[in-house]
């Protein structure tokens, strides 16, 4: 089966988590860069990665990469790419683009040139001068970075964070992909209780339950590549059946609580749509009243950040109360995501470890507090190695 160069994109800061996911799916020879992992795979792998990747934003096919300092170069290099091997005669072609530190800085012109080149390529194959473009959609991107053009086709369609269960979210929703990354980074295992005492719309609890049940995150949604005739429908059917057969019947308990009845109603609806209501329990509770008799446990939460001036004092009070409440939980780990740079000061305890993550475009820190006894006696060691990821925010 023919292999293609594929790119799984991610939010900045979780590339190593995505790399581990791909390794667990059996891929090797992975190349990690800012916000992306490159690898080679077949049409079946396009299906598998879309169904299974929890922390990826999209899965792209890389069609070509070349230097382009003029529109002529961009056209000439694009027209010779193997478009007719992938695009049918009635393909709907949508081109978008971006340009960073490149001589070709007009994105709209670059998009127009790339589409013109694709049409010219298809004319030679299909011996036609006009195309109806009423067939399957192909979303193509031309990305220019320092005069290097990369041409890709999106195989996912809607972002992979759209699992299909969250019709309602809170005022500041946490992306499903980032929530899943937080669960992976916590090293939580289903034999420990997991709690989110500021659960909002329930995303962290739901993602943890999907991981524990081994439910493929893309099982209940569709993908743009399902419309393409060169990926057989049987591949999608077989991989979905295989994914359903791999769902675990483990029993575990995740606690989601919040004081806001409005967001709790949304959380319950999301949990039910995700099909994990037997494992994720929701209750109205002030986090300051959170208590547990469990010896070992884990808290993963995304509290308010206090981005508006009138919210700062209230948020600082929440952080102080969090520090007092969590200090009573002996042998528990807690993982707290916030953009507030003074979190540790108000929490009254320095984090064991901090990890820079991005919630959308907002730079945050994941403050990680480890119980020494828990990690020495109970948890297997797992590390997410960022050494291969080149960090250059100017190029993002």
- Asked whether the predicted pLDDT for residue 138 surpasses 50, the reply is yes
Q: Pull the structure tokens for residue 116.
A: 């013109």
Give the whole-angstrom CA distance, residue 126 versus residue 364.
51
Average confidence (pLDDT) over 26-52: 96
Contact 62, 45 (CB under 8 A): no
Report how far apart, in Å, the C-alpha atoms of 360 and of each of 53, 177, 201, 339, 357 are.
18, 11, 17, 11, 9
Homologous superfamily (CATH) of 176-232+240-245+252-377 is Vaccinia Virus protein VP39 (3.40.50.150)
Report how far apart, in Å, the C-alpha atoms of 141 and of each of 91, 96, 161, 213, 309 are.
15, 5, 20, 35, 39
What is the distance between the terminal CA atoms of the chain, rounded to a whole angstrom?
34
Average confidence (pLDDT) over 131-135: 93
Outline where the chain has alpha helix (H).
Answer: 15-24, 43-52, 71-79, 107-126, 176-186, 203-213, 233-245, 261-274, 312-326, 343-347, 372-377
Query: Would you tell me how many other CB atoms lie within 10 Å of the CB of residue 83?
Result: 25
- The one-character DSSP state at 187 is T
Query: Would you tell me how many other CB atoms lie within 10 Å of the CB of residue 381?
Result: 6
Average confidence (pLDDT) over 58-69: 98
Measure the CA angle with vertex 265, ends 260 and 271; round to 5°.
120
Q: Does domain 4-154 have CATH number 3.40.50.620?
A: no
Domain map (residue ranges) of the chain: 4-154, 176-232+240-245+252-377
Average confidence (pLDDT) over 271-284: 96
Give the whole-angstrom CA distance, residue 317 versus residue 346.
8
Cα atoms in the 13 Å half-sphere on the side-chain side of 51? 24
Average pLDDT of the chain to the nearest whole number: 91
Q: Percent of the chain beyond pLDDT 70?
A: 92
Give the whole-angstrom CA distance, residue 213 versus residue 251.
9
- Asked whether the predicted pLDDT for residue 217 surpasses 80, the reply is yes
What SS3 state is found at 120? helix
Query: Would you tell me how many other CB atoms lie within 10 Å of the CB of residue 375?
Result: 15
Using pLDDT thresholds of 50, 70 and 90, give the confidence band for residue 393. very low
The pLDDT, as a whole number, for residue 308 is 62
Per the model's pLDDT, the better-predicted residue between 111 and 309 turns out to be 111
Give the whole-angstrom CA distance, residue 268 versus residue 202.
8
Average confidence (pLDDT) over 143-149: 97
CB within 8 A of 31, min separation 6: which ones?
37, 38, 39, 388
Give the whole-angstrom CA distance, residue 151 versus residue 95.
10
Q: Tell me the DSSP string of 222-269.
A: --GGGG-TTS-HHHHHHHHHHHHHT-------EEEEES-HHHHHHHHH
User: Which residue do the tokens 């609580």 mark?
Assistant: 257
Q: Which of 265, 317, 313, 252 is nearest to 287 (CA)?
A: 317
Give the whole-angstrom CA distance, residue 348 versus residue 367.
13
Give the whole-angstrom CA distance, residue 51 versus residue 128.
36
Q: Which of 290, 72, 127, 303 is nearest to 193 (CA)?
A: 290
Using pLDDT thresholds of 50, 70 and 90, give the confidence band for residue 307. low
Per the model's pLDDT, the better-predicted residue between 254 and 360 turns out to be 254
User: What are the tens digits of pLDDT across the range 149-198?
Assistant: 999 999 999 999 999 998 755 455 799 999 999 999 999 999 999 999 99
47 phi/psi in degrees, rounded to 5: -65, -50
Q: Pull the structure tokens for residue 120.
A: 């010219």
Give the whole-angstrom CA distance, residue 269 versus residue 205.
13
């Amino acid at each position: 089966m023919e292999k293609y160069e594929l790119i799984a994109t991610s939010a900045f800061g979780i590339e190593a988590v995505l790399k581990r996911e791909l390794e667990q799916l059996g891929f090797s020879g992975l190349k990690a860069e800012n916000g992306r992992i490159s690898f080679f795979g077949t049409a079946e792998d396009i299906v598998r990665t879309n169904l299974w990747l929890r922390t990826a934003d999209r899965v792209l096919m890389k069609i070509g990469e070349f230097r382009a300092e003029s529109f002529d170069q961009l056209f000439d290099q694009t027209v010779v790419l193997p478009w007719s091997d992938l695009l049918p005669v009635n393909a709907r072609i949508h081109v978008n683009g971006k340009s960073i530190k490149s001589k070709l800085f007009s994105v709209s012109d670059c998009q127009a040139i790339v589409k013109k080149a694709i049409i010219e390529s298809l004319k030679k194959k299909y011996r036609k001068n006009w195309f109806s473009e009423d067939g399957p959609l192909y979303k193509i991107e031309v990305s220019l970075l320092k005069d290097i053009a990369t041409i890709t086709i999106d195989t996912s369609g809607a972002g992979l964070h759209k699992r299909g269960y969250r019709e309602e979210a809170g005022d500041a929703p946490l992306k499903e992909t980032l929530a899943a990354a937080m669960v992976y980074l916590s090293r939580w295992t289903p034999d420990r209780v997991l709690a989110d005492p500021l659960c909002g719309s329930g995303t962290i609890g739901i993602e943890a339950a999907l991981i524990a049940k081994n439910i493929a995150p893309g099982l209940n949604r569709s993908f743009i590549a399902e419309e393409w005739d060169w990926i057989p429908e049987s591949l999608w059917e077989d991989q979905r059946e295989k994914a359903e057969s791999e769902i675990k019947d483990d029993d575990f308990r995740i606690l989601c609580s919040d004081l806001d009845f409005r967001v709790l109603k949304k959380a319950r609806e999301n949990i039910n749509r995700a099909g994990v209501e037997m494992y994720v329990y929701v209750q109205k509770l002030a986090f300051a009243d959170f208590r547990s008799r469990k010896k070992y446990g884990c808290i993963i939460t995304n509290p308010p950040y206090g981005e508006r001036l009138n919210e700062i004092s209230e948020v600082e009070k929440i952080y102080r109360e969090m520090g007092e409440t969590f200090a009573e939980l002996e042998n528990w780990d807690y993982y707290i995501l916030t953009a507030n740079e003074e979190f540790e000061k108000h929490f009254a305890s320095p984090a064991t470890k901090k990890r820079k993550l991005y919630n959308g475009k907002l730079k945050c820190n994941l403050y990680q507090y480890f119980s020494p006894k828990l990690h020495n006696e109970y948890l297997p060691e797992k590390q997410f190695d960022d050494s291969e990821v080149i960090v250059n925010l100017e190029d993002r």
